[in-house]
Amino acid sequence: MTAASQTLGIRAIRSVPLFGESPKGGWSAEIKPEDTIHALIAVHTDGGPIGYGSVFTDARLVAAALKVLEPLYLGENALEPARVSEKLHQNSFWMGRGGSLTHTISGIDIALWDILGKVTGMSVGRLVGGRHRERVQPYCSLLMEEPGRMHDVIADYRARGFTAFKIGWGPFGRAMDARLDEAIVAAARRAAGDRARLFVDAGASDAYWPHGLKWALRTAEMLKDHDVGWFEEALKPDAIDDFVELRRQSPVPIAGGEVLTRRQAFLPWLARGAFDIVQPDVTKVGGLSEQRRIAWMAEEFGVRYVGHGWNTALGVAADLQLATALPNVDLVEFIGGSPYVDGITAEPFRLDAEGWLQIPDRPGLGVDIDRDKLARYTDDPAPLFA
């Protein structure tokens, strides 16, 4: 790296919403296609490359957060992502640590790592830890459906090459019918086949979740009979005592943490043994800088890290880079059928013959946003490219 390139000022940060084909979330207050729950961010520099990131937040909140944070990032060195992101965290905590500001900083941080990779000619994975692996298994993340439909959906994605699946939300637990819950899981297992990995997400962070610890314990026993690899979001997201007890008694591993943000929030959950698998979301938790620290911390507590990835192609790209940079990552989440994953990059993600994803080793995140494709999902993509 030349002396001239050791400082690269941030000139502006812009965002655009994604809407028009927002996939269903299975929420009780269902996402509508015109809703915007994801935004893309571009960090523009003084004569250098543009970096791209993703934020899991309504784009109107992202735009407001960027305005609030602007005095802190303008003129900063884009080649120092961890320091710049921590500066933003440290000087905005009193305005709502963990909320939309933290989510927005996540996108900024991802974009700054993208820039550093482009300037150095290295992939983000090499910069944040090196390459422990060249590919990783994606699990196809799908909504729960009635049993017949669930079977057909899983069978379709199995035919496309996926060998691991997660089903979640929808009627599971919400229909107050344990027999229906089991029928859905059984249908998914039949369609996936005995050798496929299958995970179940109750989605208990949904509004007014009706169940508690005893339901989760009974359900965990049922999931064991269908060889389910983990039980995710089985309890309300603040019920740490119940999570500790559930993990102690459950015959299947317990996963969670997608609603937590910043490393400080994860520490009591890890220290008390609430999770077998911890699932921070890189587009919410504080970006790659924070995600990496949480994964390191989890390893010290003997807890597996599998990033939550219900977001966009840029979120997948960030998760892939972390999957190679960390020593014990064997899965990444991949939403089945989301146009914001499959339809905004120049080259879509492709499974290999064994149903795995190659981890890009190109500079930065290793993916390129396609302006023409993106125009289908936002009114004006120009702010990301200007």
The distance of Cα 233 from the centroid of its chain, to the nearest Å, equals 15
**Mean predicted confidence (pLDDT) in 1-21:** 84
| Residue 10 φ/ψ, nearest 5 degrees | -80, 120
Look at residue 5 in the predicted model and tell me its pLDDT. 56
- CA–CA gap between residue 321 and residue 315 (Å, rounded): 10
The answer to whether the CB of 51 falls within 8 A of the CB of 113 is yes
**Alpha carbon distances (Å) from 187 to 144, 151, 291, 309:** 11, 5, 34, 24
Q: What is the pLDDT of residues 346-366, one digit of tens each?
A: 999 999 999 999 999 999 999
| Residue 143 φ/ψ, nearest 5 degrees | -75, 150
**Alpha carbon distances (Å) from 381 to 301, 348, 367, 386:** 43, 19, 17, 9
Q: What is the DSSP string of 200-254?
A: EE--TTSTT----HHHHHHHHHHHHTTT-S-EES-S-TT-HHHHHHHHHH-SS-E
Which residues are registered as beta bridge partners of 348?
Answer: none
**Residue partners of 294: CB distance under 8 A and separation at least 6:** 263, 266, 278, 280, 285, 305
The total of other beta-carbon atoms located within 10 Å of residue 340's CB is: 25
Whether residue 33 is predicted with pLDDT greater than 90 in this model: the reply is: no
Mean model confidence pLDDT for the chain: 96
- The fraction of the chain above a pLDDT of 90, given in percent, is 93
- Predicted TM-score (pTM) above 0.85: yes
- CA–CA gap between residue 328 and residue 289 (Å, rounded): 18
- CA–CA gap between residue 315 and residue 365 (Å, rounded): 10
Look at residue 3 in the predicted model and tell me its pLDDT. 41
Specify whether domain 126-358 bears CATH 3.20.20.120. Answer: yes
Look at residue 192 in the predicted model and tell me its pLDDT. 98
Domain residue ranges in the chain? 3-122+381-385, 126-358
Whether residue 4 is predicted with pLDDT greater than 50 in this model: the reply is: no
Beta strands in 347-386 (DSSP E): 357-358
**Mean predicted confidence (pLDDT) in 120-144:** 98
CATH superfamily membership of 3-122+381-385: Enolase-like, N-terminal domain (3.30.390.10)
